[in-house]
Structure 1
Amino acid sequence: MDSFTFFILLLSIAHFSSHPTLYVSGDATSIRNICKQTNYNDLCISSLKSNSSSLKADTKGLAVIIIGIAIANATDTSSFLSSQLLSSTSDSVVKKVVKDCADKYSYATIALQASLQELDLKSFEYAYVQVTAAKDYPNACHNGYKKFPGLAYPIELARREEQLEHMCDVALGIINLLSW
């Protein structure tokens, strides 16, 4: 074995030993190990526990599950904005801000769906970019409210914003593991 081949072999061994969770199915232990490497360990574990298919999923499958939960959150928030908040006011400024926010959450859904396509293609860097974009859309919504002094940011919307951002952070942590 020449020195270059030996060097590549050593790099491979070091890589695999430093990232053992990437190559196992999603049993409870590997799920805990993967979730420890995200910013929101408890959210990651509870979200994956709520989906029975996570116990059979590999790391990529766990990312898909988390992104699916984030898609449901973004879609539900867009619907919430369109149906409840938009219909509860006649103020044209509030209607415009709420509609813009509903659009932002729709864009977040689209970005998350695109990340699933990128994961399927094993384009982990592009999946990461799409989830990062989805994470930022709720912030753009929040900033829309800030443009109008005196316009209160709804507590329920703040809660939903935080949930989506945290779920995206979990997805980003898992995707980051895949790119190694």
Structure 2
Amino acid sequence: MVGFGMKSATATATYIAGNHTAAAANDTVLRKVLKDCSDKYALAADSLRLTVQDLDDEAYDYAYMHVLAAQDYPNVCRNIFRRAKGLVYPTEIRRREVSLRRICGVVSGILDRLAE
């Protein structure tokens, strides 16, 4: 399940960087927001990679912390869009955010059971 989350976060970072950045060529605010969002999804993928290492080490508290971080990075992206006047949070990015949040929620539930 963590692997699905890593793939989802990486794919979203790539999607944002590739598909939307070209459309924002003349809009410096949008270009910066998209770069920040792409970076946040890349950080989410990195957090989930660290989760795998934590699980190998049976460090469940750290694994849980990394999953929560991965779950929160997309929220930061959404908030960046909200703060930028005149920008609308793209529907496809919203869909991907919800998907990653669900995956992280499942992983968190599994970690809760492992830590018992």
Partner of 1:67: 2
Tell me, yes or no, if structure 1 residue 80 matches structure 2 residue 15.
yes
Once the two structures are superposed, the pairs formed by residues 89-104 of structure 1 within 5 Å of their partners are 89-90=24-25, 91-104=27-40
After TM superposition, give the deviation of residue 149 of structure 1 in Å.
2.2
Tell me, yes or no, if structure 1 residue 137 matches structure 2 residue 73.
yes
Q: Cα deviations across residues 83-142 of structure 1 (Å, max 9, x unaligned)? A: 001112221100000000000000001100001000000011110000000000000000
2:53 counterpart letter in structure 1: Q
Q: What secondary structure, in the 3-state scheme, does the structure 2 residue paired with 1:153 have?
A: coil
Which one of the candidate residues 107, 111, 116 is aligned to 2:43?
A: 107
TM, length-normalised to structure 2: 0.97
Alignment partners' CA distance in 2, 1:75 and 1:81: 10
Alignment partners' CA distance in 1, 2:64 and 2:107: 8
Task: Extract unaligned runs of 5+ from structure 2.
Answer: none
2:38 counterpart letter in structure 1: A
1:88 counterpart letter in structure 2: A
Q: CA RMSD in A?
A: 0.6
| Larger radius of gyration between Structure 1 and Structure 2 | 1
Alignment partners' CA distance in 2, 1:126 and 1:148: 33
Which aligned runs of 4 or more in structure 1 are off by greater than 3 angstroms? none
Alignment partners' CA distance in 1, 2:24 and 2:33: 11
Alignment partners' CA distance in 2, 1:126 and 1:89: 37
TM, length-normalised to structure 1: 0.63
Alignment partners' CA distance in 2, 1:118 and 1:148: 36
Q: Identity of paired residues, percent?
A: 39
Once the two structures are superposed, the pairs formed by residues 121-132 of structure 1 within 5 Å of their partners are 121-132=57-68
Partner of 1:163: 99
Partner of 1:150: 86
